Structure 1
Amino acid sequence: MAVSGEAAETATDTATSIEVDTGTRYQRMLGFGASITDASAWLIRKKMTPEQRLALLQELFGRSGNGIGLEFTRLTIGASDFSRHHYSLDDPPDGRPDPQLQHFSIAPNLDDVVPVAREALRINPRLQVMASPWSAPGWMKDSDSLIKGKLRPEYYDAFARYLLKYVDAYAAEGIPIFALTVQNEPDYEPADYPGMRLNAPARARLIGDHLGPLIAQRGKGPLIFDWDHNWDKPQEPMAVLSDPAAGPHVAAVAWHCYGGEVAAQSPVHEAFPGKDAYMTECSDGTWEPVLSGGLPLQARELIVQTTRHWARGVLFWNLALDEKGGPHAGGCDTCIGVVAIDSKTGAVTRNNGYYALAHASRFVRQDAYRIASTATADDGLDNVAFQNSDDGSVVLIVVNSNPQPRTVAVSQQDRRFNYTLPASSVATFRWTPRPRHL
Structure 2
Amino acid sequence: MVLLTYIFFILLFTYCKGYHECNQKKTDYGYVCVCDSSKCDTVPEIDVSTGKFQMFSTSSNKMGFTASSGTLKPSSNTNFGYKIDLQNSSVKQKVIGFGGAFTDSSGINIKSLPEGAQKNLLNSYFGSSGVQYSLGRVPMGGTDFSIRQYTYDDHDGDLELKYFSLQNEDHVYKIPLIKKAYKLSNNSLNLFASSWTAPPWMKNTDMYASGILKDEYYQTWADYYIKFFQEYKKSGVNFWGLTTQNEPVDGFVPSLVFPLNSLGFTTAQMKKWVSENLGPTIRKSEFKDLKIIAHDDQRTFLQIFSSVWEDDDSGKYIDGVGVHWYWDAFAPNSVLELAKSSKKDLFLLGTEACNGAPVKLGSWERGQSYIKSIISDFEYGAGGWMDFNLVLNQEGGPHVILNPLDSPIIVNNSTGEFYKQPMYYAMGHFSKFLRPDSVVLEVQNNLTANLKSVAALRPDGLTAVIVYNEGSESAKVEVISKGGSVLQTSVPAKSINTILF
> Is TM > 0.5 for Structure 1 vs Structure 2?
yes
Counterpart for residue 217 of structure 1? 284
Moved more, 290-299 or 272-281: 290-299
Report the secondary structure of 1:367's partner residue: coil
Q: Aligned with 2:54: secondary structure?
A: coil
Given that 2:465 and 2:500 are in contact with CA atoms closer than 8 Å, whether structure 1 keeps it comes out as: yes
Q: Equivalent residues in 2 for 1:32-431 (5 A)?
A: 32-45=98-111, 47-63=112-128, 66-92=129-155, 96-108=156-168, 109-124=170-185, 125-188=187-250, 189=253, 191-218=258-285, 220-259=288-327, 260-269=331-340, 271=342, 274-286=345-357, 293-302=365-374, 304-330=375-401, 332-333=403-404, 335-374=405-444, 378-389=448-459, 391-412=460-481, 413-431=483-501
Could you say what secondary structure the match of 1:87 adopts? coil
User: Residues of 2 paired with 1:223 and 1:165: CA distance?
Assistant: 17
Contact residue 231 and residue 261 of structure 1 kept, 8 A:
no
Q: What is residue 3 of structure 1 aligned with on the other side? A: 54
- Take 1:426 and 1:234, find their aligned partners in 2: how far apart are those partners? 30
Contact 1:265 1:309 in 2 (8 A): yes
Q: State the Cα distance separating 1:195 from its structure 2 match.
A: 1.0
Match in the other structure for 1:434: none
- Residues 270 and 420 (structure 1), Cα distance of their counterparts in 2 relative to 1, 3 Å cut: farther
Cα RMSD of the aligned pairs, angstroms, is 2.4
8 Å contact 1:12–1:409 — kept in the other structure?
no
Question: How many Å separate the matches in 2 of 1:271 and 1:345?
Answer: 54
Query: 1:28·1:369 contact (CA, 8 Å) conserved in 2?
Result: yes
Is the CA contact 2:80–2:488 (under 8 Å) kept in the aligned structure 1? Answer: no
Worse overlay, 304-313 or 285-294: 285-294
Contact 1:284/1:353 (<8 A) preserved: no
- Whole-Å Cα distance in 1 between the matches of residues 238 and 333 of structure 2? 30
Where 2:413 maps in the other structure, the secondary structure is: coil
Distance change in 2, residues 1:291/1:230 (3 Å)? farther
- Separation of aligned partners in 2, 1:408 and 1:352: 23
Deviation per residue, 1:395-421 (Å, 9 max, x gap): 011111223322222111322122222
Structure 1 position 175, deviation (Å): 1.2
Q: 1 CA distance for matches of 2:357 and 2:467? A: 24
Seq. identity, %: 25
CA distance in 1, matches of 2:448, 2:275: 43
Compute the displacement of 1:311 (Å). Answer: 1.5
> What's 1:16 paired with?
82
Instruction: Give TM-score, length-normalised by structure 1.
Output: 0.90
Q: What is the CA-CA distance between 1:425 and the residue it aligns to?
A: 1.3
Deviation at 1:145, TM superposition (A): 0.7
| Structure 1: runs of 5 or more not aligned | 432-438
Q: Distance in 2 between matches of 1:271 and 1:401?
A: 36
Give unpaired runs (5+ residues) of structure 2: 1-51, 56-67
Q: Secondary structure at 1:2's aligned position in 2? A: strand
Whichever residue aligns with residue 53 of structure 2, its letter is: A
Change (3 A) 1:376 1:214: farther
User: Number of residue pairs matched?
Assistant: 421
Distance (Å, rounded) in 2 between the aligned partners of 1:281 and 1:55 = 24
Task: For 2:410 and 2:342, locate their aligned partners in 1 and report how far apart those are by CA, in whole Å.
Answer: 40
Aligned-residue offset at 1:209: 0.3
Q: Which residue identity is paired with 1:199?
A: T
Q: Following the alignment from structure 2 to structure 1, what is the Cα–Cα distance between the partners of residues 82 and 247?
A: 39
Q: Structure 1 residue 352: deviation in Å?
A: 2.2
1:436 alignment counterpart? none
Match for 2:466: what amino acid?
Answer: I
Q: CA deviation at 1:272?
A: 5.2
Aligned partner letter, 1:195: S
Report how far residue 273 of structure 1 moved. Answer: 5.1
Deviations 1:351-410 (A, max 9, x none): 222111111122222211112223556522111111111x20000111112233222221
Deviation at 1:261, TM superposition (A): 3.6
Q: 1:417 to 1:116 in 2, by over 3 A?
A: same
Q: Which has the larger radius of gyration?
A: 2
Inter-partner Cα distance in structure 1 for 2:477 and 2:338: 30
* TM-score normalised to structure 2 length: 0.79
* Contact 1:28–1:312, Cα closer than 8 Å, also in 2: yes
